[in-house]
Amino acid sequence: MSIAGPHLLDVDLLTPSASGGKHLAECGWCRQRQQVAEHHRDDLDDDDFLRAARRRAEAGGAAALAPATRLTPTLHALTVDTVVREDVAVGQLWRLRWEQATELAVVLAVDRWWVTVAPVTTDVSAADEFSVLLPPTASVLSTALAACVSLECTVPLFVFDRQIAPASRPTVDREQATAQLPPPDTLRDVWRAWRRGTAGPAHLSYGTALDDGDLDRRELRAVIASSFAVLVGASASVPGDPLGEVVPLAQRLRNLDMRPTDLARTTGLPSQLFTRINRGGRVNRAEAEKLAVVLNADPQTVLNGNPALDDELITEVSRPRYRRVLRQLAYATGTSEDEQRWTTADAVSPQAARTVTSRQTPGAGGAPPNHWAEKVDNYLKQRLAELNETV
């Protein structure tokens, strides 16, 4: 008789769903894991724990956490909310975080704010013939890992939280090569091999191929893949083209046949807002709520009429280096990091027509300088300065 449903994730052991409860009734392994979890119950939210850990680390250094855990000093340092300066690039090992999901992944490809990753797990038994086995020396985690290229998925750039290991450089030293992450070009070769169904680079270590009888391994891989579903689904939070036919906001206002001064008086919004809308500007939720009354529509319908954000702007506000500031603003204003990200994008977007002189001169054939970076950086600095003045 087959066991009902897949094995439970750790976060579901203490609060199983109806289907999870049925699985627990039939699976001795999951019941054993549940009993262990009951003895080590922790009702503290992950974000609350990390916030408390950071406060303790900042007060007494990372070593202050040593008496409370068995983690190495290197891992203690990962609890400190440092400024991330690195951009996401192929070959790097990152920690991804979104809502309650925290996972590890190796970067396979970057396309603007879309990033293709290979899920990374400490359970190396999940590795198949297209999963690269990584030695404990490959990262500060000091444990063997498996980069499951055959479970590749695409996640938004803004879920990248902390770089665990940088991309490696090619080396002729065989001992060094086996002790580090595979270089970016080698990882791309593994990825291409997986997609084409051919053999990967011969000098790497891989898992064993799955056969029809590997039910436990297949189920384990399914759990790993499903754990990335929240990270993949995070892309839905990006303001984009809504489903169905949408009337542009500027057109809706023109259909009212009212002057900007009349609209301003009726809605309580400044008349400059309507000039901004006519020039292709966007409105935020607070403005949409006031406009909804005069447009006889709900706020979400008004927001759907916004013009799309520039793709380069979405990419810029999604970079990991802004997450620390966005979290500070969210904590101070009682909002979410994601809300602060798109508030920043909406605030910066009207500046598109302005030019910013960059100190960087692109080389011949090089890409043009990123004109959004300085604008986003200046806006967030201004927000932090205003926040500090009110504290």
Does some domain include residue 154? yes
Residues 218 and 121 in one domain: yes
210 shares a domain with 133: yes
Whole-angstrom distance, CA of residue 245 vs CA of residue 251: 13
Q: How many domains, the chain?
A: 4
In a domain, 32, yes or no: no
Q: Which residues of 262-298 are buried (b: 16+ CB within 10 A; e: fewer)?
A: ebbeebebeeebbebbeeebbbeeebbebbbebbebe
- At residue 228, the pLDDT reads 95
Are 343 and 231 within one domain? no
User: For residues 388 and 391, what is the distance between their CA atoms, to the nearest angstrom?
Assistant: 5
Residue 269 sits at φ, ψ, to 5 deg, of: -95, 155
**What residue type is 369 in one-letter code?**
P
Contact 260, 275 (CB under 8 A): yes
Decide if 21 is inside a domain.
no
pLDDT at 360: 43
Structural domain containing residue 138:
93-237
Contact 187, 120 (CB under 8 A): no
pLDDT at res. 354: 42
pLDDT for position 65: 55
In a domain, 1, yes or no: no
Sequence-distant (≥ 6) Cβ neighbours of residue 369 within 8 angstroms: 358, 360, 361, 362
C-alpha closest to that of 162 among 64, 62, 85, 74? 85
CATH number of 297's domain = 1.10.260.40
**What secondary structure letter does DSSP report for 88?**
P
User: What does the pLDDT read at residue 356?
Assistant: 40
Crossing angle (nearest 10°) for helices 371-390 and 337-348: 120
User: 212: domain CATH number?
Assistant: 2.30.30.110
Q: What's the pLDDT at 59?
A: 59
pLDDT at residue 232 in the model: 94
Judge if 145 and 270 occupy the same domain. Answer: no
Structure tokens at 301: 């319908």
On whether residue 12 sits in a domain, the answer given is: no
The enclosing H or E element of 145 equals: strand 145-148
Q: Which residues, at least 6 apart from 332, have a Cβ–Cβ distance to it below 8 Å?
A: 387
Q: Are residues 97 and 156 in the same domain?
A: yes
- The span from the CA of 154 to the CA of 166, in Å, is 20
Q: Are residues 133 and 233 in the same domain?
A: yes
Per-residue pLDDT in tens (0 to 9) along the chain, 391 residues: 445 567 777 767 788 888 888 888 888 778 877 877 776 665 555 566 566 666 655 555 555 555 555 555 555 455 545 555 678 999 999 999 998 899 999 999 999 999 999 999 999 999 999 999 999 998 888 899 999 999 999 999 999 999 999 988 776 667 776 778 899 999 999 999 999 999 999 889 999 998 888 888 899 999 999 999 999 999 888 887 666 678 888 999 999 888 888 889 999 999 888 888 888 888 888 888 999 999 998 888 888 888 888 899 999 999 999 999 999 999 998 989 999 999 899 888 865 444 444 444 444 344 445 689 999 999 999 999 888 766 4
Residues 198 and 272 in one domain: no
Tell me: do 107 and 226 sit in the same domain: yes
Domain stops at, among 283, 304, 325: 304
Q: With beta carbons less than 8 A apart as the criterion, state whether 112 and 129 touch.
A: no
Provide the token pair at 220.
Answer: 């384990």
If asked whether residues 138 and 153 sit together in one domain, one would say yes
262 and 232 belong to one structural domain: no
- Intra-chain end-to-end CA distance of the chain, in Å: 63
CA distance 317 to 339: 12
Is the residue at 7 inside a domain?
A: no
